[in-house]
Structure 1
């Protein structure tokens, strides 16, 4: 039964439907995301907020993230940006790229992650570009290249991702 609404009162808009991840992120990047619009995944992720990662581009199966890195904040005992920080940046880019292909009721998990470090970083903007190298029904493979401000490569990270559906996706 519908409640009577007093004259002059506004009805609240119905809850916004979930957008596909790719559409949500594109709206977010364009600055056109409207209040109440959402997707079935969490953006920005808690770890990305904590570490200062910013999504700067997305496409079907692709994502680019950037961060201002500084060895004073993200450094190791040698005084360079920690390799674990670089791997987390790549993992966030790969996860974002994979999520653009993930439908509501589905999820995914990384089952392998490998990093090759190419040169050190002391400070500056880093850009991580993730893309699929093979997209399968259950297992997909991604690569992420991280570059410094001068365009020189810092690291290449690869990952195998397993799609989760049905009960396996519940709660993830």
Structure 2
């Protein structure tokens, strides 16, 4: 059983990480940055209680689909990362969470641009919370709107996750 007394709250950890003030040996019970975020080049640029903003420099040469635009799956992953990061700020040691649904509405095509995914809750429940994430390109236009429900897991349900 890990020593949870030394864990920083997730929000504190992410705020310190973002500002470069994370001390040596300071940890939280979750993994940041996540492996998928590192692989895809996502950057956390803003964090608060139940909210997160993540950016990505999108390029169809790296992230493209058959039509030559940025793949919609990348937009879903970007939104899921922002929503998951936002929800993680509410987690205490011994708690974790899982997405239980995700619905994406694509509004505009994306080519080479900086994408900004901003996630916020629309309903915060004890077990089920709902989030909305809007993804904008660098001209400020919304390219996708993603809604997701997230379930908080506690006790036995959180073990090993």
TM-score normalized with structure 2 length? 0.96
Tell me the alpha carbon deviations over residues 50-88 of structure 1, each in whole angstroms, 9 at most, x when there is no partner: 000010001000000000000000000000000000000
Q: SS state of the match for residue 22, structure 1?
A: helix
How far residue 139 of structure 1 moved from its aligned partner, in angstroms, is 0.5
Q: Tell whether 2:110 aligns with 1:126.
A: no
> Residue 68 of structure 2 corresponds to which residue in structure 1?
79
> Residue 135 of structure 2 corresponds to which residue in structure 1?
146
**Structure-2 separation of matches of 1:138 and 1:17:** 25
**Structure-2 separation of matches of 1:158 and 1:46:** 23
> Residue 11 of structure 1 corresponds to which residue in structure 2?
none
Which of 141, 144, 149 is residue 155 of structure 1 equivalent to? 144
Following superposition of structure 1 onto structure 2, how do residues 15-94 of structure 1 map, counting pairs within 5 Å? 17-94=6-83
**Structure-2 separation of matches of 1:86 and 1:75:** 11
The root-mean-square deviation of aligned C-alpha atoms, in Å, is 0.8
How far residue 124 of structure 1 moved from its aligned partner, in angstroms, is 1.1
**Structure-2 separation of matches of 1:129 and 1:35:** 29
Unaligned runs of 5+ in 2: none
**Structure-1 separation of matches of 2:19 and 2:111:** 31
Q: Which has the larger radius of gyration?
A: 1
Q: SS state of the match for residue 153, structure 2?
A: strand
Q: Tell whether 2:144 aligns with 1:166.
A: no
Unaligned runs of 5+ in 1: 1-15
**Structure-1 separation of matches of 2:104 and 2:27:** 33
**Structure-2 separation of matches of 1:27 and 1:100:** 13
**Structure-1 separation of matches of 2:22 and 2:128:** 31
